[in-house]
Chains A and B, each alone.
Chain A
């Protein structure tokens, strides 16, 4: 096996190739015709082109595994285009039967939307926030998905650490459960395979950290996306990975590198199973979401950009002072600023920070639209293998410090103001700490969107966070504003409208900045830059 350094030619391409692909959001594909008229803009590939040759393997050109392993930035882009695709009824959209008991299956309450971006659509063109679903009587807001892969990896590694502590206990011995510095109480081994879990806090007795949903309910991106396609879009997948893990209790590794072990964890089954046939919604369309699309979507969300920070020079003193007040008030006890991933499965990291518009330095300048600049850094190794296929581009799997995360991935009782009603009249009291990254741009707040401002949602805290809430409330008006300024610096951004080192601004472009505003562009990183997604 011989190595090939990541090609300088690709770098040059990244700097010089223009953003040839559409920057739209919630798109149809160009090959579809609307009312007989060819669409002039949109996704370049139709659904069949996105499916390619199926899952295949790394010797099967145009299969999902081949693309993920040899042309990973194309897979990320394809997942993005799939995320933004407006699905048609002929593709299975909206066919789900919504009969049933909502108290048993809350997903019945979810509305029907024709695109992932219908709920996760803000900022524009991102996998952001913005939707609202009726899966609880008081509604649930769709959270942003920035940094989702980092969140998945953190939860998974924390689980491994907690379970290693459990495994190391002798009979009669009690262990303190600490993962990545977060304390989850204690556990005592009572027999060869039995444990007293009464001291476990903030996580289920199985010690599986579930980083997704308010209640901490889902383990993996793959389960999350297959579930959402079904619940919110009526598009059902017979995902073999989830089926094998959930129903056949197998240990599988998804193409994005996530291990799902049905023998250890309760994995969510896909909506299409052997027991309900191939078309459970009876819309006449079987196999509505082929596995290759699930693969690309999972890979996209694994690699999705983390949120940025927008700290202009004239604000840095306020932001840093606000951060210190936030920490001194005890907020950072649960909203932990940084956690470290030991093995990063992503193929790149993108750091997005404030950068004022400066036409004199177009390679580092933000644009007038959002005054941010993103720096993409590949995290891959390239390997030549026998044959004529392009080199393998694998994640470097180094460690990674997740900065400005502000969460502990642990459940807490935040008191009555945060409790959530279920359809059966019970209350959900254990709430997963919300990561605060991006929080400056995601109003309204709370899982239910009931808090109109950051100050309102802070004052809504109680229960385990009552002391911190009171500490904040005791600050002077001016100091509260400093804390809010700090929180306001944690931002999301529209990737297609954010200048980066993969597509700089061009202030000389006609109609700048509507054109030439730069973007976080993946096309220049494809093996074949002329083959657009």
Chain B
């Protein structure tokens, strides 16, 4: 039986509360921690005060998101890159996830024209480990901010392509299902990513069908026909002996 673990109120909860993104992070937080956060809201005497160091960190991270939310003449320039690196350097996974999605949602640049997009996607992809893979996958359908959702989808496409062996069979199946179900709603650039990922984890037929290829010559049917022909040939050989 999976059980929610018990943990103390961490500093990242304070960060999250201030950054203002709560829905996403709650998806990854154990239930008991959620309740403890609720309690800490009502019983302020139990809340952990933010240290000066944490406040400085918070200020820096807020500034990083602000930098990324502005239009830039040089979107790959040092200011934006530095801001992205600040967010990517966060060690705590839920905090990092919240900040990256906040930044992704606020960024006005088109993903396929954003030189930092691959780094954002890579950063998100590294968050998905073990059990958070299953929870994170659900964010592909629950995240309502389009750019943040696209980043999550791309991060799972990357995971499927590059770390296939880390997916358990049920996770691989669930991810395949999501790719199939979501494909029709994705922007063109992302369709290609998902098709490549689907080819890796769900096979050539699924990928070909997603690409719009004809259903007349599917691998699975060819293999079936070949198996029948082989069986028939074997029967004939036996009959001839």
Query: A residues within 8 Å of B by Cβ?
Result: 1, 3, 5-6, 8, 10-11, 14-15, 309, 311, 313, 316-318, 320-321, 323-325, 327-328, 332, 337-338, 340, 353, 375-383, 396, 398-399, 401, 403-404, 475-476, 478-479, 482, 501-502
With a cutoff of 8 Å between Cβ atoms, the chain B residues found around residue A15 in the complex are: 1
Q: Any chain A CB within 8 A of the CB of B224?
A: yes
Given contacts A321-B218, A324-B209, A328-B209, whether A11 and B34 have CB atoms under 8 Å apart is no
With a cutoff of 8 Å between Cβ atoms, the chain B residues found around residue A340 in the complex are: 141-142
B181, A327: Cβ atoms under 8 Å?
A: yes
State how many angstroms separate the Cβ of B143 from the closest Cβ of chain A: 10
Give which listed residue, B5, B26, B36, B180, contacts A320 with CB less than 8 A.
B180
- In Å, the complex CA distance between A5 and B27 comes to 18
Chain B, interface SS category: helix
Sample of 5 A–B contacts (CB below 8 Å) = A6-B3, A398-B27, A398-B31, A476-B216, A478-B218
- In Å, the complex CA distance between A14 and B3 comes to 12
Q: Any chain A CB within 8 A of the CB of B237?
A: no
> Could you say which of A313, A376, A378 has the most chain B C-beta atoms within 10 Å of its C-beta?
A378
B215, A320: Cβ atoms under 8 Å?
A: no
A325, B215: Cβ atoms under 8 Å?
A: yes
Q: Any chain A CB within 8 A of the CB of B220?
A: yes
A401, B141: Cβ atoms under 8 Å?
A: yes
Cβ proximity bits B204-219 to A, threshold 8 Å, 1 near / 0 not: 0110011000011010
Q: Which partner residue on chain B sits nearest A319 by CB separation?
A: B173
Given contacts A378-B3, A479-B221, whether A401 and B138 have CB atoms under 8 Å apart is yes
- In Å, the complex CA distance between A399 and B178 comes to 18
Q: Any chain A CB within 8 A of the CB of B6?
A: yes
A6, B32: Cβ atoms under 8 Å?
A: yes
Give which listed residue, A3, A375, A381, contacts B2 with CB less than 8 A.
A375
Q: Any chain A CB within 8 A of the CB of B13?
A: no
A381, B216: Cβ atoms under 8 Å?
A: no
A317, B220: Cβ atoms under 8 Å?
A: yes
Q: Which partner residue on chain B sits nearest A330 by CB separation?
A: B184
B23, A399: Cβ atoms under 8 Å?
A: yes
- In Å, the complex CA distance between A3 and B5 comes to 12
A8, B209: Cβ atoms under 8 Å?
A: no
With a cutoff of 8 Å between Cβ atoms, the chain A residues found around residue B39 in the complex are: 1, 3
Could you tell me which residues of chain B, from 172 to 231, have a CB within 8 Å of some CB in chain A?
173-174, 176-178, 180-181, 183-184, 202-203, 205-206, 209-210, 215-216, 218, 220-221, 224
Give which listed residue, B4, B6, B169, B218, contacts A479 with CB less than 8 A.
B218
Q: Any chain A CB within 8 A of the CB of B78?
A: no
Q: Which partner residue on chain A sits nearest B30 by CB separation?
A: A5
Cβ proximity bits B14-30 to A, threshold 8 Å, 1 near / 0 not: 00000000010011000
Query: B residues within 8 Å of A by Cβ?
Result: 1-6, 23, 26-27, 31-32, 34-36, 39, 138, 141-142, 169-170, 173-174, 176-178, 180-181, 183-184, 202-203, 205-206, 209-210, 215-216, 218, 220-221, 224
Given contacts A321-B209, A475-B215, whether A5 and B5 have CB atoms under 8 Å apart is yes
With a cutoff of 8 Å between Cβ atoms, the chain A residues found around residue B180 in the complex are: 320, 323-324, 327
Query: Total A-B residue pairs with C-beta atoms closer than 8 Å?
Result: 118
With a cutoff of 8 Å between Cβ atoms, the chain B residues found around residue A311 in the complex are: 173
Q: Which partner residue on chain A sits nearest B42 by CB separation?
A: A1
> Could you say which of A5, A325, A399, A478 has the most chain B C-beta atoms within 10 Å of its C-beta?
A5
Give which listed residue, B26, B176, B209, B224, contacts A398 with CB less than 8 A.
B26
Q: Which partner residue on chain A sits nearest B139 by CB separation?
A: A401
- In Å, the complex CA distance between A15 and B2 comes to 11
- In Å, the complex CA distance between A327 and B202 comes to 15
A337, B1: Cβ atoms under 8 Å?
A: no
Given contacts A327-B181, A337-B177, A502-B1, whether A317 and B31 have CB atoms under 8 Å apart is no
A378, B1: Cβ atoms under 8 Å?
A: yes
With a cutoff of 8 Å between Cβ atoms, the chain B residues found around residue A338 in the complex are: 141, 178, 181
- In Å, the complex CA distance between A88 and B39 comes to 49
A327, B176: Cβ atoms under 8 Å?
A: no
Give which listed residue, B2, B34, B178, contacts A396 with CB less than 8 A.
B34
With a cutoff of 8 Å between Cβ atoms, the chain B residues found around residue A5 in the complex are: 3-6, 32
- In Å, the complex CA distance between A353 and B173 comes to 11
B181, A379: Cβ atoms under 8 Å?
A: no
A376, B177: Cβ atoms under 8 Å?
A: no
Q: Which partner residue on chain A sits nearest B135 by CB separation?
A: A401
State how many angstroms separate the Cβ of B61 from the closest Cβ of chain A: 25
State how many angstroms separate the Cβ of A203 from the closest Cβ of chain B: 22
- In Å, the complex CA distance between A338 and B218 comes to 26
State how many angstroms separate the Cβ of A380 from the closest Cβ of chain B: 7
- In Å, the complex CA distance between A1 and B215 comes to 61
A14, B1: Cβ atoms under 8 Å?
A: yes
Q: Which partner residue on chain B sits nearest A15 by CB separation?
A: B1
With a cutoff of 8 Å between Cβ atoms, the chain B residues found around residue A478 in the complex are: 218, 221, 224
A320, B31: Cβ atoms under 8 Å?
A: no
A320, B4: Cβ atoms under 8 Å?
A: no
B31, A396: Cβ atoms under 8 Å?
A: yes
B31, A379: Cβ atoms under 8 Å?
A: yes
A320, B3: Cβ atoms under 8 Å?
A: no
